């Protein structure tokens, strides 16, 4: 799968050159003062770096989603979560509601400014008493004559002080539950709006605010789409919000590993550079392998979106895994730096702070597992609405155990990749058997699938399986264009054996107590997985992967 063509690469080069020149040298200062000068967005707008997939008539570039992927990757490399999120909120979390559902008048009024970098927008969902439980928001918009009168408060609003307008999530009919939610565009410079800055652990260059609305009057024409459809619009829009975290976080993690390797090659202890110590090398191998797998999965999710598919399951899985891995990598990479990692003179302190928000903002990890569990265990089908980018309408290969894929691996004579495929298939089968088991009622009519703890474990494992599957797929498809994939194949082998081990052990526990192993429904799988583990040394794999990374 080659996602990037010549024009993508040229775009990356020019964006990177711009960021290296205009942004990188200033990040430190912007983090210190807690503000990014608005002139930088204007410069980016003038260069054509904003509104990449918006239509040309609003000043956009009408490009495919992989240009947005590059935009997020290049901003992610800067290691300033605050800088990245400021524009992510504008381009992916707020303006798309106007673009997809707004009237022509709203589009003409707001979109050109968003794309030129003159306007900054924000999205107001969270309230002091309603975060994860979005349906419970209380901010009220009442239609009086031809105006909405808004009362209520929002909290944790990124760009709340800095922004020019907000896409405000309000109740227009409080008795109608989620069908009484609407989206209204509100200019932030009007009477009746009070703003307070919130002091945060990280994301120092971005502002986050509490906003209260006291009889704020907004023309009726500022309603986005139809009254009462706001919750539906949000549920669709949140997939893009979650998706954009994938390329930006992957790029930040790549930066963390590359900075760590650089540091480790220069730092001496006990007469040698610290990149010679086995445990550190194995840790590099582990983190790099997990990241490489996630990167493949991230491109797969972005490819679905590019092809016009808004996939709730893959976006939620991607958001879950990428933010959890970001936290792990920033913690463990900081450790490579020793005491220096804890200081502001080295890059890891900021990354450590910034990464902590990932599993909270845009839907917490627990909420992601709730959504995934509904799809995997309860077979809930979410509508796959069209994304707002130009759809390529191609099919996406999602059938991993497809015989053609296995046979093509056989032909390539890649036993390690075949083993990776087999271990993932074992993990997948084990999870399927377990899901069937937990959905069976016991003598009292109770089902284990009602246990939240079991549901979340299944959601987590299913996400990891999906990620590994796409990693192997991506390697398989690279054989046509690349000759040496030894590192990637070893990484796939390592992560898939570890995954199989995790899935089999956790599923065993989910079955509950059994008299002996022979009667256990997973007995054969258990033995098979243990045989694979004892006949493949993880330590050798780590040695090989770390050698390929460190001594390349």
Ligand X SMILES: Cc1cc2nc3c(=O)[nH]c(=O)nc-3n(C[C@H](O)[C@H](O)[C@H](O)COP(=O)(O)OP(=O)(O)OC[C@H]3O[C@@H](n4cnc5c(N)ncnc54)[C@H](O)[C@@H]3O)c2cc1C
Q: Is 366 in the site for ligand X (CB under 6 A)?
A: yes
Task: Tell which one of 9, 14, 39, 132 touches ligand X (CB under 6 A).
Answer: 132
The first and second tokens of residue 170, run together, are 């309000």
Give the E-state strand segments of 161-220 in sequence order: 165-171, 181-187, 193-197, 208-219
Q: Is 120 in the site for ligand X (CB under 6 A)?
A: no
CB 120 within 8 A of CB 162: yes
Q: Is 194 in the site for ligand X (CB under 6 A)?
A: no
Nearer of residues 230 and 308 to ligand X, judged by Cβ: 230
Q: Could you tell me how far CA 540 lies from the centroid of its own chain?
A: 32
CB 117 within 8 A of CB 43: yes
Stretch that binds ligand X, among 123-131, 185-193, 212-220, 236-244 (CB under 6 A): 123-131
Stretch that binds ligand X, among 70-78, 120-128, 250-258, 422-430 (CB under 6 A): 120-128
Q: Is 370 in the site for ligand X (CB under 6 A)?
A: yes
Task: Tell which one of 80, 88, 91, 208 touches ligand X (CB under 6 A).
Answer: 208
Q: Is 89 in the site for ligand X (CB under 6 A)?
A: yes
Give the E-state strand segments of 188-255 in sequence order: 193-197, 208-219, 223-224
Q: How many residues bind ligand X (CB under 6 A)?
A: 23
Residue 154 parent element (H or E): strand 147-158
Nearer of residues 307 and 455 to ligand X, judged by Cβ: 455
* Residue 227 Cβ vs ligand X, minimum distance, rounded to whole Å: 20
DSSP class of residue 91 equals I
Nearer of residues 98 and 550 to ligand X, judged by Cβ: 98
CB 302 within 8 A of CB 92: no
Q: Is 203 in the site for ligand X (CB under 6 A)?
A: yes
Handedness of CA 379, 385, 389, 395 (dihedral sign): positive
DSSP class of residue 209 equals E
Task: Tell which one of 53, 72, 126, 463 touches ligand X (CB under 6 A).
Answer: 126
The first and second tokens of residue 15, run together, are 């964006």
Handedness of CA 21, 22, 23, 28 (dihedral sign): positive
Nearer of residues 13 and 133 to ligand X, judged by Cβ: 133
Pick out residues in 333-362 that bind ligand X (CB under 6 A): 357, 360-362
Q: Which residue is nearest to ligand X (CB)?
A: 131
Q: What does the per-residue mask of binding to ligand X show for 151-180, with x meaning CB under 6 A?
A: -----xxx----------------------
CA angle 407, 412, 415 (to 5 degrees): 85
Stretch that binds ligand X, among 30-38, 363-371, 434-442, 513-521 (CB under 6 A): 363-371
Task: Tell which one of 122, 209, 438, 497 touches ligand X (CB under 6 A).
Answer: 122
Among the residues of 22-79, which ranges form H helices? 24-33, 39-46, 65-76
CA dihedral 174, 180, 381, 425 (to 10 degrees): -60
CB 195 within 8 A of CB 152: no
CB 315 within 8 A of CB 239: yes
Catalytic residue, from 127, 241, 292, 327: name it: 241
Nearer of residues 133 and 221 to ligand X, judged by Cβ: 133
Q: Is 36 in the site for ligand X (CB under 6 A)?
A: no
Nearer of residues 9 and 136 to ligand X, judged by Cβ: 136
Beta-carbon contacts of 87 under 8 Å, excluding residues fewer than 6 positions away, are 41, 44, 50, 75
Q: Is 87 in the site for ligand X (CB under 6 A)?
A: no
Nearer of residues 107 and 242 to ligand X, judged by Cβ: 242
* Residue 363 Cβ vs ligand X, minimum distance, rounded to whole Å: 6
Q: Tell me whether residue 518 is one of the annotated catalytic residues.
A: no
Helical packing angle, 81-88 and 348-355, nearest 10°: 40
Catalytic residues: 241
Which residues of the shown chain bind ligand X in the complex (CB under 6 A)?
A: 89, 122-126, 131-132, 156-158, 200, 203, 208, 357, 360-364, 366-367, 370
């Amino acid at each position: 799968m080659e996602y990037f063509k010549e024009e993508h690469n040229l775009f990356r080069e020019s964006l990177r050159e711009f960021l290296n020149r205009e942004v990188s040298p200033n990040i430190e200062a912007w983090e210190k003062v807690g503000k990014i000068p608005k002139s930088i967005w204007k410069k980016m707008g003038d260069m054509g770096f904003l509104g990449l997939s918006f239509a040309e008539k609003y000043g956009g570039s009408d490009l495919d989603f992989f240009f947005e992927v590059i935009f997020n990757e290049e901003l992610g490399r800067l290691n300033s979560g605050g800088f990245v999120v400021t524009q992510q909120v504008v381009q992916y979390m707020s303006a798309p509601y106007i673009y997809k559902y707004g009237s022509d008048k709203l589009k003409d009024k707001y979109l050109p400014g968003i794309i030129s970098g003159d306007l900054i927008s924000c999205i107001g969902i969270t309230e002091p008493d309603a975060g994860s439980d979005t349906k419970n928001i209380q901010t009220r918009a009442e239609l009086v004559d031809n105006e909405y009168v808004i009362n209520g408060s929002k909290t944790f609003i990124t760009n709340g002080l800095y922004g020019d307008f907000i896409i405000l999530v309000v109740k227009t009919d409080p008795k109608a539950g989620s069908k009484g939610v609407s989206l209204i565009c509100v200019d932030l410079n009007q009477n009746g709006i009070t703003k307070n800055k919130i002091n945060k652990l990280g994301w120092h260059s971005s502002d986050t605010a509490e906003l209260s609305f006291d009889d704020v009057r907004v023309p009726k024409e500022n309603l986005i789409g139809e009254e009462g459809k706001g919750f539906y619009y949000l549920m669709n829009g949140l997939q893009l919000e979650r998706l954009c975290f994938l390329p930006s976080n992957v790029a930040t993690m790549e930066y963390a590993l590359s900075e760590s390797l650089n540091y480790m090659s220069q730092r001496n202890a006990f007469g040698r550079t610290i990149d010679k110590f086995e445990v550190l090398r194995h840790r590099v191998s582990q983190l790099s392998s997990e990241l490489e797998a996630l990167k493949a999965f991230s491109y797969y999710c972005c490819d679905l979106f590019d092809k016009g598919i808004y996939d709730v399951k893959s976006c939620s899985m991607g958001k879950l895994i990428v933010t959890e891995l970001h936290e792990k990598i920033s913690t463990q990479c900081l450790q490579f730096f020793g005491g220096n990692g804890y200081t502001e003179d080295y890059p890891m302190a900021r990354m450590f702070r910034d990464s902590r928000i990932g599993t909270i903002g845009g839907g917490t990890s627990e909420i992601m597992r709730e959504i995934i569990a509904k799809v995997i265990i309860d077979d809930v089908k979410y509508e796959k609405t069209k994304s707002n980018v130009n759809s390529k309408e191609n099919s996406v290969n999602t059938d991993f155990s497809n015989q053609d894929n296995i046979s093509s691996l056989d032909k390539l004579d890649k036993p390690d990749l075949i083993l990776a495929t087999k271990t993932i298939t074992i993990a997948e089968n084990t999870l399927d058997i377990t899901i069937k088991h937990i959905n069976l009622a016991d003598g009292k009519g109770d089902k284990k699938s009602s246990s939240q703890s079991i549901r979340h474990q299944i959601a987590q494992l299913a996400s990891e399986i999906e990620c590994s599957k796409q990693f192997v797929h991506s390697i398989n498809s690279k054989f046509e264009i690349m000759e040496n994939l030894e590192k990637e194949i070893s990484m796939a082998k390592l992560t898939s054996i570890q995954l199989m081990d995790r899935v089999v052990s956790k599923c065993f526990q989910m079955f509950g107590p059994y008299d002996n192993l022979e009667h256990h429904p997973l007995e054969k799988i258990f033995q098979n997985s243990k045989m694979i583990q004892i006949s493949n040394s993880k330590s050798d794999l780590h040695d090989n992967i770390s050698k390929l990374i460190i001594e390349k």
